[in-house]
Structure 1
Amino acid sequence: MALRRGRKGDLGLEVMSLIELALPTPDGQRLLSDRHTETATAISDALRSSLDNVSRLRGWQTQYAFEAVVVALGAIRLIKTEDSGLFYFDDGGGELQPPDFRIVLNDGTHLLVEVKNVAPTGSDREAKVRAKDMASTQAYAQATGGRLLYALFWSRMGMWTLVDPSAFSIAGSQRRLSFVDAIKVNEMYLLGDGMLAIEPPLTFSVITDRDRERVVERLPDGEETWAFTIGGIELLSAGRTITDPDEKKLAWFLMLHGDWPQTEEPQFDEQGRLARLDYISAPEAPDEDAARQIEEQGFAFFGTLSRLYTLRFLEATTTEEGDIRALREEPEPALLAQLVPDDYWERPEHVLRIWRFRQYPAGIAPSGTPSGAGSATTSMPVPGPGD
């Protein structure tokens, strides 16, 4: 079975719920159908206000990005927007505030997830939530039978963490959590997230067709401008040509949406003619020790699956200047799971050697049972390529 979209939505129907907000009270004896201009004006004014509010747009884009990541990871049974529509509640126990999403895991566990964008400003790099908002959202989770978690998008690093409210520290009327502390208790593994590592570098080669080269301009000083035709392309991993279709698909995804620096290196034959153009993606080692470590261990981290897909999502919905051109892009269900299928490591003779690491909070083993003493985030690698 696979994830697929449920109700498609119909603008003609969905707009009906906005009428209650645009026209909250009856107007004497006038029919609702006669208040079209008034309704359209109210909705238009509200829309203009939201479109002019960059912070609000960023917040919604982040919320849709999280939804897309969860769908692309494909490891859950259901995800649904929770904070839409009216609701009524007994206020004897205090305020209730719905979070952004309800997620049902494959084992039937219900998660209620509030999404927050941690803007890349300031030096503290802390997520901040008002204490009263956290309390009312926790009350909603208790009333509806779900576990509350916060999905924090650290936009400076382009990374997601999924954390329990108990991880936040008390700071007056706020609850705060640093990036370092969020990483230690990150539970994105619940949604199928993992970190990929491969042997560097990844190379995309454009091979020239020697028989179709031609001079298009010859200057008086003897300098010539040549035009060449592409005769073929190759994908290489650590210098080895990738031929398997699944490995090619994964390599393309990593090159297109990863953030390893890329360099262009022309290769010439003995006569000085262009033979190929190599576009090489390789990790940027901060010092000689880091470079030596990568060489000794045989792999370098490419980043989490959630981060790679978020980069793809932001590329699709944001201009090169950073302006928002769309709030969402329809996600491809289980795309990330299909990139690295579970039987990947059972196949013989891989050219594209992959390591996948899954991160668990301290004290949580892969089976969900306590793993023993420890105070640091744990990951579960194996000695060779695999999970």
Structure 2
Amino acid sequence: MKKPFDLLREVARFGASQGVSLNDPAMPAAFGLHVDDSMKQAMSDPAFLQGLRAEAMFENLVTSLGEVMMIKPEDTGPLQSAVPMQAPDFRIVLKDGSNWLVEVKNVYVQNAFRQRRKILSRNYRRGLNNYSQATGGTLKLAVFWARWSIWTLIDPERLAPGDQDLTLDMMEAVKASEMAAVGDQTLALRAPLTLRLTMDPDRTSEIGEDGRVLVTIGKAQLFCDGKELLHPHDQQIAWTVMNYSDWETPDARAKVDGNRLISIEFESNPPELSYQGFEMAGSLSRMFAHYYAQRTMSGDEVVDINVPVQSEWFGSLRVSTGLGRMPLWRFLLQPNYEDF
């Protein structure tokens, strides 16, 4: 069992602020009331909860993508400094040794076509810059544009040098995004994707007069453009796209022979077909955002902060060997700062 270092530090800080020692019999009850009050305050602040959720999502996304040497929270514990400093949310070390300090922001703008917001004030940015210079890291800014479920990762110094206020437009951020450096990519594949559930004829009843049937599934198959996917990594990729991309899966289609149910099929397609030989399925980070929303949101309410990482999703993309693999197109967006 891991020793409760973080908990004990919090208890000690609380005790110091209240003049209560660790071995005081009143400490457990007093700290419990403090936690209860803090929880009530936090749960009544939707913007605070959305910010924490975005931070946790970014950490889990980068971990799931599996393309960095390490990621760790940076803004933990007290900070004593000779000049104003603000620790960013995370430190990331890339595989090439680059050392990034990443500040994460959640942005929600109701107008879907005017996604522009002041992200960093001058003083807050100065604190981030001072910390980055003192610790030898390059400051980056990760923004989750919640209205579109889009992640961008930019270098604020290249967009607006110095300690000035930073206002960001989503389209500018997408153009300059460095998400590919942490493993993000956009996928394309052939449509449709089909999940076929074939019934076990010996353990599936006939269709009754009331339309009811007791079913036992004998076989589950995934198809891409009519070709069965046999490799487990292809199956994982297809399943992820069907569940978490913007492709649409209408109601199930049943195949019936007389009074026997033969199979049920779910077919997934992009909203509009391009007829160019492949169809865009979206970025890995956006699929992960959809997955995260399903497990942390209920309507507009945050119901959880953390969910399990999904390393097996993206691990499947790193394996290209095997016979008869599914055709897959991958696009890695490179940052463009030239017009800023």
Offset, 1:215: 4.7
Is 1:233 equivalent to 2:220 in the alignment?
Answer: yes
- Tell me which residue corresponds to 1:114: 103
* Cα pair distance change 1:38/1:246, threshold 3 Å: closer
The share of aligned pairs that are identical, in percent, is 27
- Tell me which residue corresponds to 1:385: none
Please state whether the residue corresponding to 1:263 is helix, strand or coil: coil
- Tell me which residue corresponds to 1:88: 80
Please identify, of 46-55 and 140-149, the stretch whose mean Cα deviation from structure 2 is larger.
Answer: 46-55
Q: Deviations over 1:214-272 (max 9, x none)?
A: 356436xxxx5444432322111011111122211222222222231101352445647
Quick one: distance in 1 between partners of 2:111 and 2:205? 55
Quick one: distance in 2 between partners of 1:213 and 1:258? 33
* Cα pair distance change 1:26/1:347, threshold 3 Å: closer
Quick one: distance in 1 between partners of 2:315 and 2:151? 21
Is 1:251 equivalent to 2:228 in the alignment?
Answer: no
Please identify, of 206-215 and 155-164, the stretch whose mean Cα deviation from structure 2 is larger.
Answer: 206-215
Is 1:125 equivalent to 2:115 in the alignment?
Answer: yes
Please state whether the residue corresponding to 2:85 is helix, strand or coil: coil
Quick one: distance in 2 between partners of 1:274 and 1:40? 58
Offset, 1:21: 4.1
Offset, 1:301: 1.2
Offset, 1:168: 4.8
- Tell me which residue corresponds to 2:175: 184
Please state whether the residue corresponding to 2:301 is helix, strand or coil: coil
Q: 1:168–1:176: 8 Å Cα contact kept in structure 2?
A: no
* Cα pair distance change 1:51/1:235, threshold 3 Å: same
Quick one: distance in 2 between partners of 1:304 and 1:218? 47
- Tell me which residue corresponds to 1:353: 327
Q: Which runs of no fewer than 5 residues in structure 2 stay unpaired?
A: none
Is 1:207 equivalent to 2:182 in the alignment?
Answer: no
Larger CA Rg, structure 1 vs 2: 1
Quick one: distance in 2 between partners of 1:268 and 1:175? 57
Quick one: distance in 2 between partners of 1:190 and 1:96? 26
* Cα pair distance change 1:33/1:266, threshold 3 Å: same
Quick one: distance in 2 between partners of 1:252 and 1:309? 13
* Cα pair distance change 1:9/1:70, threshold 3 Å: farther
Is 1:278 equivalent to 2:265 in the alignment?
Answer: yes
Is 1:335 equivalent to 2:324 in the alignment?
Answer: no
Q: 1:72–1:331: 8 Å Cα contact kept in structure 2?
A: yes
Offset, 1:347: 4.0
Q: Aligned letter for 1:23? A: G
Q: 2:46–2:301: 8 Å Cα contact kept in structure 1?
A: no
Quick one: distance in 1 between partners of 2:39 and 2:226? 53
Q: 1:203–1:236: 8 Å Cα contact kept in structure 2?
A: yes
Please state whether the residue corresponding to 1:253 is helix, strand or coil: helix
Q: Deviations over 1:268-325 (max 9, x none)?
A: 456475432210110001xxxxx3xx21x21111111122222222323334x34333
Quick one: distance in 2 between partners of 1:255 and 1:193? 18
Q: Which runs of no fewer than 5 residues in structure 1 stay unpaired?
A: 1-7, 286-290, 364-373, 377-387
Q: How many residues align?
A: 335
Please identify, of 306-315 and 180-189, the stretch whose mean Cα deviation from structure 2 is larger.
Answer: 306-315
- Tell me which residue corresponds to 2:286: 307
Alignment of 1:1-387 (within 5 A): 10=3, 12-25=4-17, 27=19, 31-34=21-24, 35-36=26-27, 37-91=29-83, 95-122=84-111, 124-128=114-118, 129-166=120-157, 168=159, 174-215=165-206, 217-218=208-209, 225-268=212-255, 271=258, 273-285=260-272, 291=273, 294-295=274-275, 297-319=276-298, 321-332=299-310, 334-341=311-318, 343-344=319-320, 347-350=322-325, 352-362=326-336
* Cα pair distance change 1:153/1:361, threshold 3 Å: same
- Could you tell me the TM-score, scaled by structure 2's length? 0.88
Quick one: distance in 2 between partners of 1:26 and 1:49? 19
Please state whether the residue corresponding to 1:103 is helix, strand or coil: strand
- Could you tell me the TM-score, scaled by structure 1's length? 0.78
Please state whether the residue corresponding to 2:302 is helix, strand or coil: coil
Offset, 1:24: 3.6
Q: Aligned letter for 2:324? A: E
Quick one: distance in 1 between partners of 2:111 and 2:204? 54
Quick one: distance in 2 between partners of 1:151 and 1:127? 14
